[in-house]
Amino acid sequence: MVKKKDAASIAVRQAEKSVEDIRARSAQLLKRANLNVKEYRKELSTLKKQGIVSKRINAAKHQPTRYMLGKVKKFKGVALGHELAIPVDKLSAHRARQYVEKGLAERIGKFLTIPRTAVKQKADIYKGHIEVTTELNRGDERVIKFGERLEDMHDILNWLSENEQRINDLKGPRGQLGFQLSGHNSRVGLANVRELISYLMKYDGTDPRYRGNIFNGNSKAIAKEFVIIRFRPGPATSRPTLDPYYGVKRYSKGRDRKDARRNEQYRRENERQRKARQRMAEDKDTYEDRLSKQRQRDRANANARREKRMSKKLIDF
């Protein structure tokens, strides 16, 4: 009996020592990687959500190993939430190579990584293309990335013509096509690619009425900032109203009543926010003085409205 107890005690001590050795070795590995346990497990959890680490791994309790720390280091951009990962086997070899050559994605092992531009964002494959979905306050925005390299506006028109059926399939039967260019949204929604090409050809210099316009300027910049929009028009919508994917949103003042109205809305909202910040910084005396002046203006306005009503009654009588 004594020998059995001694053997059991020895086994327990050996197990405890093994655990201590594992923890000490893990601590040493973390120190070399400039991480603590909390940071390591958080980054490991992110890699697990992106499918880089096996689902069988319990990120909340995992003890660091040399192999797993190597994977965290290899996919550091994904682990920190700066990039999104897509399994490369979801794409054809040709399409994956196009994305890498164009600089839209970087290949790391069995994954393609792309920059992450929003917190609530994910990437997947849709009909053979990388699709990035960003969750908005109302609905979501979906961006489909094409791997073809386009140098100027003429390349864009040729590419649209060659891929007409593919783009129409991505648009769907009920959607419409629009585009963004240098911060401008297209003025109309178009039913198909053929209409989009006809619309763009007015501005590429082939139509004499539009020669000398922006398409004949920095053509490479135009090609880089050109984005096709797929949207579903609502009852009062006849054109895209999204913020630009590239550049800064711009409006043509005086040329479009919708743009002018939207500019006025932005101006009022900026003014409201400015006044709110100003009021938050007020002291008590300034606050009381502002309220006193506001009451005087309200009384004056009320008197003016009352006099107007009385004048109307006397005229009607």
Same domain? For 157 and 213 the reply is yes
Same domain? For 184 and 205 the reply is yes
Q: Return the pLDDT at 3.
A: 54
Query: Of the candidates 46, 50, 83, 44, which has an alpha carbon nearest to the alpha carbon of residue 64?
Result: 44
Same domain? For 233 and 284 the reply is no
Q: Give me the half-sphere count of Cα atoms (radius 13 Å) on the Cβ side of residue 241.
A: 11
Quickly list DSSP for 130-163: EEEEEE-SSSEEEEEEP-----SHHHHHHHHHHT
Q: Which are the contacts of 146, defined by CB distance < 8 A and separation ≥ 6? A: 129
Any idea what the Cα angle at residue 244 is, between residues 161 and 188, rounded to 5°? 55
Q: 255 versus 293: which is more confidently predicted?
A: 293
pLDDT tens per residue, range 125-184: 988 889 888 887 766 777 888 888 777 778 888 889 998 998 888 888 877 888 877 666
Same domain? For 166 and 98 the reply is no
Q: Residue 210 — pLDDT band, cuts 50, 70, 90?
A: very low
Q: Which are the contacts of 28, defined by CB distance < 8 A and separation ≥ 6? A: none
pLDDT tens per residue, range 16-61: 556 566 667 777 777 887 888 888 889 999 999 999 999 898 988 8
Instruction: Select from 222, 250, 278 the last residue of a domain.
Output: 250
Same domain? For 227 and 163 the reply is yes
Count of domains forming the chain:
4
Tell me which residue range forms the domain holding 47. Answer: 15-78
Same domain? For 185 and 225 the reply is yes
Give me the residue label for tokens 């096509």: 177
Token pair belonging to 91: 């794409």
pLDDT tens per residue, range 60-69: 888 888 888 8
Q: Is residue 67 assigned to a domain?
A: yes
The DSSP secondary-structure symbol of 103 reads: T
Same domain? For 162 and 230 the reply is yes
Sign of CA dihedral 157, 158, 163, 165: positive
Q: Is residue 5 assigned to a domain?
A: no
Token pair belonging to 193: 């690619």
Q: Is residue 92 assigned to a domain?
A: yes
Same domain? For 209 and 172 the reply is yes
pLDDT tens per residue, range 262-282: 566 657 777 777 787 788 778
237 Rama class: left (phi>0) / alpha (psi -120 to 50) / beta? beta
Q: Return the pLDDT at 304.
A: 80
Q: Is residue 9 assigned to a domain?
A: no
Same domain? For 43 and 132 the reply is no
Within 10 Å of residue 26's Cβ, how many Cβ atoms?
Answer: 18
Q: The pTM is what?
A: 0.58
Under 8 Å between Cβ of 232 and 175: yes
Instruction: Select from 130, 149, 168 the last residue of a domain.
Output: 149
Q: Is residue 207 assigned to a domain?
A: yes
Q: Report the number of secondary-structure helices (H) and strands (E) in the chain.
A: 11, 9
Sign of CA dihedral 250, 255, 258, 262: positive
Q: Is residue 6 assigned to a domain?
A: no
Q: Is residue 135 assigned to a domain?
A: yes
Instruction: Select from 55, 78, 101 the last residue of a domain.
Output: 78
Same domain? For 207 and 243 the reply is yes
Q: Is residue 220 assigned to a domain?
A: yes
Same domain? For 92 and 175 the reply is no
Same domain? For 92 and 144 the reply is yes
Token pair belonging to 23: 């923890």
Give me the residue label for tokens 């398409």: 215
